[in-house]
Amino acid sequence: MEMAYNKKTKVKKGWLVVAVGLDGDEAPNGDGFRRFPIPISYLHHPLFQRLLESARETYGYKTAGPLRLPCSVEDFLHLRWVIDREQRAGGSHSTLSLHAC
């Protein structure tokens, strides 16, 4: 079950909120992006680093608000599942390729 996170929701220590979406996507907050909390540990994962590089290429370094990730929500949820599974298993990193990320 996904929890809705908005600007007023407090994020627990060690986590951050990212905004996920593609141009033209619909989202409950009206800006085309859905917000998701993620653990800071994701920032070190190679798959997530590729997504961060894509965000840098798309949006640059300066943004107002949460970090925006140019990725479909479906692909982001799959990426999050892969990273969580790997972290639980303590295994090696995947070479997953996401369509819209």
Give the pLDDT of residue 10.
81
Give the pLDDT of residue 11.
85
**Mean pLDDT score of the chain:** 81
pLDDT greater at residue 11 or residue 94? 11
- Mean pLDDT throughout 65-88? 92
Query: Residues 24, 73: contact at Cβ < 8 Å?
Result: no
d(CA 53, CA 69): 9
pTM: 0.74
**Of residues 33, 32, 37, the one with CA closest to residue 9:** 37
- Mean pLDDT throughout 81-100? 73
